Amino acid sequence: MDKIISMDAIGAFLKDGMTISIGGFMGCGNAHHIIDEILKTDVKNLTLICTDTARDDYGIGKLIDDRRITKLLASHIGTNKETQRQVIEGFIELELVPQGTLAERIRAAGAGLGGVLTQTGLGTEVQDGKEIVTIDGKDYILEKPIHIDLAFLKAYKADNAGNLIYNGATRNFNVPMAGAATVTIAEVEEIVENGQLNPNFIHTPFVYINHIIKA
């Protein structure tokens, strides 16, 4: 099946109030062209899953600047003053999640797990409202999976089937997000014919990818 779509098709996948995710770390691995395309639509009230919001007017930060995000699950917002401003004023509902926990909660959704157990955050606000499980005399926080409606990834290369290869550190959160989403769309720099990618070096298998866009 041909999974290649055009950039201007992005709007058809968006709807108000949905949960989206964007891979990357401080803009490295963000689907920058897709973000620009989202801003051409009028979609709003989005829940965003990401490790950070980069900085003002860059990467994910552009969605914050344009007030498209009303709920945010992220590891930190310290590099984006506009995110901080909107959280303080109450426009964005923020859940800060320790970075390793965030990755595991996303991975758990893709693996079909009911949750993950971690000691990260015990005795802090992180555990508020969450179930504590005791195993062999040690307490753990039960962290539930994060399910995503629509994931946007950034990869270096894909084949027509949707197998992906990332470049260096851009793998980061793009990899677990692919499996946690109902629909996954990858922005890639190059598309090759099936069979041209070395199967030993494929980072995200085609089964997780619904559509690819050359950008």
Q: Give the domain ranges of the chain.
A: 7-214
Whether residue 180 contacts residue 145, with contact meaning beta carbons closer than 8 Å, is answered with: yes
CATH architecture of 7-214: 3-Layer(aba) Sandwich (3.40)
The mean per-residue pLDDT over the stretch 139-153 comes to 98
pLDDT at 2: 79
Q: Rounded to whole angstroms, how far apart are CA atoms 207 and 177? A: 13
β-bridge partners, 204: 164
- State pTM to two decimals: 0.94
pLDDT category of residue 53 using cuts at 50, 70 and 90: very high
β-bridge partners, 150: 20, 183
Q: Tell me the backbone φ, ψ of residue 57, rounded to 5 degrees.
A: 60, 30
In the predicted model, is pLDDT for residue 68 greater than 80?
A: yes
